Amino acid sequence: MTIRVQVLLEEEEKELFVQEAQRAGMSLSAWIRDAGKERLKNRPARLKLETPDDLRVFFASCDSRQEGREPDWEEHLRVIERSKRGQAADS
């Protein structure tokens, strides 16, 4: 089944896309569809977390990218309560 999708473009983008599509001997729709397929084909592989070791490695990599410390749960609760009362988080 085919469906129609509306894509909003700036006029300059549209003209560039049309020119590229014409060079490739394609309609604008086919060119955009091919560009999307190419983008999907070239996306990075998704990380699969299938074992407890995979999960440990994943969290270790996340930890290595972060700086500072994670607030403890009580601190989170205080921020949530202040927010509910309409107060700024740092007041």
For the cut 70, the answer to whether the pLDDT of residue 91 exceeds it is no
In this prediction, residue 69 has a pLDDT band, given cuts at 50, 70 and 90, of confident
Q: Can you say whether the dihedral through the CA atoms of 55, 56, 62, 68 is positive or negative?
A: positive
* Cα–Cα nearest to 62, from 50, 51, 74, 54: 54
Whether this prediction's pTM lies above 0.85 is answered by no
**Is residue 20 within 8 Å of residue 31, measured between CB atoms?**
yes
Q: What is the mean pLDDT of the chain?
A: 91
Contacts of 18 (CB under 8 A, 6+ apart): 28
Query: Which stretch of 3-7, 21-25, 59-63, 65-69 has the lowest confidence by average pLDDT?
Result: 65-69
Share of the chain above pLDDT 70, in %: 96
